[in-house]
Amino acid sequence: MKFRSLHDRVVIRRAEGDVKSKGGIIIPDTAKEKPQQGEVVAVGPGLREKSGNLVPLDVEVGDLILFGKWSGTEVTIDGETLLIMKETDIMGIVEKTEAAEFVTASQD
């Protein structure tokens, strides 16, 4: 199935949650908190101003974003659970810096 977002709606694939705590304890599914971070899968064209001009969204497909704990609506499309929310529910875009990439690479 192909899905196309409308207006200012954004489709998000939620990031995977931690399976273990920092102390090494395995966290069961019922106790896990859902991550408030995800990747943008699809975006709508934007909203129209009163004058009729289309205002595009600030997020793009592939952006890593942060959103509120109770934001969005979970839907299942082709067996995958995704979130659909308005752009205003997105708190910000996570931008990778060279320092963050170096730390991640050195930990591997």
pLDDT in tens, 23-41: 666 655 555 556 678 889 9
Q: Residue 71: pLDDT band by 50, 70, 90 thresholds? A: confident
Mean pLDDT over 65-72 rounds to 84
pLDDT in tens, 46-57: 888 888 888 888
Alpha-carbon distance 36 to 24, whole Å? 22
CA distances from 98 to 71, 95, 103, 108 (A): 30, 10, 9, 16
CA distances from 58 to 8, 85, 107 (A): 10, 14, 32
Alpha-carbon distance 41 to 54, whole Å? 21
Task: Just give the CATH number of 9-107.
Answer: 2.30.33.40
98 Cβ contact list (under 8 Å, min separation 6): none
pTM: 0.68
